[in-house]
Structure 1
Amino acid sequence: MVNQSRQFFVGGNFKMNGSVKSVSDLIKGMNEAKLDGKTEVVVAPPALYLLQASKEVQPPIQISAQNCHTAAYGAFTGEIAPAQLVDAQIPWVIIGHSERRQMFGDTVEFVADKTKAAVEAGLKVILCIGETLEERKGDKTDEVNQRQLQSVVDVLDEKAWSDIVIAYEPVWAIGTGLTATPQQAQEVHASLRKWMAGKVSQEVADKIRIIYGGSVNGKNCRELAKEADIDGFLVGGASIKPEFIDICKAAE
């Protein structure tokens, strides 16, 4: 059953996909869906299209960047500063996605520093964590997730967590078509919430939204949404398909 005390959250990560026209068409389709606002919906187009999307999108849909740097400004070719996103009125940023960790070498410390810089600049953060297939087979799911979260806990004060959504994304289920069963996902989410209670506070654990990302689609979203500790989804490939609207309505 959807937890009524935490607003359901659906994020759409377009990744490195899209064009001026396709992003415009996707935003138009979401606007026309007339979402009721009960679910918080945030979509993340490629950086090149952030300003376009922010001008075309209508409430309650919001826009997110897919990444940011730690520095406020400087010689970091190809990067975006948190303050620049704030200046451009982009309210959200995704940090720590497995593709950033695995392909671009974002360490747990760098992810933590990015998160701190983003929150301090005034951004809200979708913080991604998750284990690989080898780590899951080795019964290291909790160990990996807790290590990734601990680095962030170490640099943030308690009040900063009100601006963070945790996205549990099992790496083995991203873009593979494999999905954790609702029971598997719920077990991890419940474990994460219990861990947050011990490491931060019970209040933060009760309030923080922990969303699931791992080949979520229009067919499996409603079953996943029924679990008590699954507060929404971070959607990849399906976010650029018509079924994304169905996912946004999964909690209805």
Structure 2
Amino acid sequence: MKKLIAGNWKMNGSLVANELLVSELLAGIKLAGGAPACDVAVCVPTPYLAQLTGLINRPFLSQKDDIAGKNTARSAIELGAQDISAQASGAYTGEVSGGMLKDFGVRYAIVGHSERRAYHGESSQTVALKTKAALAAGITPIVCVGETLAEREAGQTEAVVKRQLAAVIHDNGHCISEIVVAYEPVWAIGTGKTATPEQAQQVHAVLRAQLNAASSAAKQRVRILYGGSMNAQNAKELLAQPDIDGGLIGGASLKAADFLKIIAAAGE
């Protein structure tokens, strides 16, 4: 299966900075051949979804690709959101539904990021419900799991990630084959630290076995990304591991040159 490199911009960006970054990414992709060997996505703050819809599709618009006024050409970059409501609609001030995201052509939505779990009190059950909402809207959820430093030092890594993923499997049944999983050791996010390729592979293998046991289709379909400070320097070694199917990239996704190097590494 193709690897997936997804940038998580977190709460960063501006109209001017976004246009420059996306222009540099598209130019770099075009220079490298125009069609990356891996899938590429950027998960952006909700206020910028409309802008990004225009930016990532602009170079691909042409009269022959336009059907009834709606462009159908696929961009080299897919659009992603950083969260999704578990609710379809209603009196949920501040929430954004899957249907709303779909209106902007969103392909992926991050659910259960460690920052959402830590700062917004999201439980594994909440993450499972958001996963279900994304799937119902035709959006691929990127389900994040990962342990804290204290949990790793206590030898609880495997138990923690399996418990987090089990909640999603339990609530989504056979649809589990349609998700993406991202292993993000909390202690390696934004700290400059990263798991060694061997440490990352060990956890990815555990998650792979859990998914395979839950769904026969998951073996061929579910990609497991590494999300702990992957950067231009360590990407190649991490992506060479047998159960690492891509990366959920934080800070490096805000630097076009670095993000392009990671994309290139995923295609090797």
TM, length-normalised to structure 2 = 0.89
2:245 maps to which residue? 231
For 2:183, which of 141, 155, 168 is the aligned residue? 168
Cα offset, 1:207, TM superposition: 2.8
1:7 is matched by which residue type in structure 2? K
The 3-state SS of whatever aligns with 2:96 is coil
Where does 1:63-74 land on structure 2 (aligned, <5 Å)? 63-74=79-90
Q: CA RMSD in A?
A: 1.1
Where does 1:72-111 land on structure 2 (aligned, <5 Å)? 72-111=88-127
Cα offset, 1:13, TM superposition: 0.3
For 1:134, which of 135, 146, 150 is the aligned residue? 150
Q: What runs of 5+ residues in structure 1 fail to find an aligned partner?
A: 1-5
For 2:219, which of 205, 211, 225 is the aligned residue? 205
The 3-state SS of whatever aligns with 1:71 is coil
Cα offset, 1:204, TM superposition: 1.0
* Contact kept? 2:36, 2:263, Cα under 8 Å: no
Cα offset, 1:202, TM superposition: 3.7
CA–CA distance in structure 2, aligned partners of residues 55 and 90 of structure 1: 12
CA–CA distance in structure 2, aligned partners of residues 37 and 93 of structure 1: 21
Structure with higher Rg: it is 2
2:7 maps to which residue? 12
Q: What runs of 5+ residues in structure 2 fail to find an aligned partner?
A: 58-74
* Contact kept? 1:70, 1:117, Cα under 8 Å: yes
| 1:179 matches 2:174 | no
1:238 is matched by which residue type in structure 2? A
Moved over 4 A (4+): none
CA–CA distance in structure 1, aligned partners of residues 245 and 105 of structure 2: 25
Cα offset, 1:53, TM superposition: 0.5
Cα offset, 1:121, TM superposition: 1.4
Report percent identity of matched pairs. 44
* Contact kept? 2:177, 2:215, Cα under 8 Å: no
For 2:26, which of 18, 25, 31 is the aligned residue? 31
| 1:55 matches 2:25 | no
TM, length-normalised to structure 1 = 0.94
CA–CA distance in structure 2, aligned partners of residues 40 and 60 of structure 1: 8
Cα offset, 1:76, TM superposition: 1.4
* Contact kept? 1:54, 1:62, Cα under 8 Å: no
- CA distances 1:14-38 after superposition (whole Å, capped 9, x unpaired): 0000100111111111111125232
The 3-state SS of whatever aligns with 2:181 is strand
CA–CA distance in structure 2, aligned partners of residues 183 and 77 of structure 1: 43
* Contact kept? 1:193, 1:206, Cα under 8 Å: no
1:3 maps to which residue? none
CA–CA distance in structure 2, aligned partners of residues 209 and 125 of structure 1: 11
The 3-state SS of whatever aligns with 2:201 is helix
- CA distances 1:206-251 after superposition (whole Å, capped 9, x unpaired): 4311010111110000011111110000000110012011011112
2:67 maps to which residue? none
1:186 is matched by which residue type in structure 2? Q
CA–CA distance in structure 1, aligned partners of residues 217 and 133 of structure 2: 23
CA–CA distance in structure 2, aligned partners of residues 45 and 206 of structure 1: 28
CA–CA distance in structure 1, aligned partners of residues 108 and 247 of structure 2: 15
CA–CA distance in structure 2, aligned partners of residues 165 and 23 of structure 1: 25
| 1:195 matches 2:210 | yes
1:50 is matched by which residue type in structure 2? L
2:17 is matched by which residue type in structure 1? S
* Contact kept? 2:177, 2:217, Cα under 8 Å: no
1:245 maps to which residue? 260
The 3-state SS of whatever aligns with 2:37 is coil
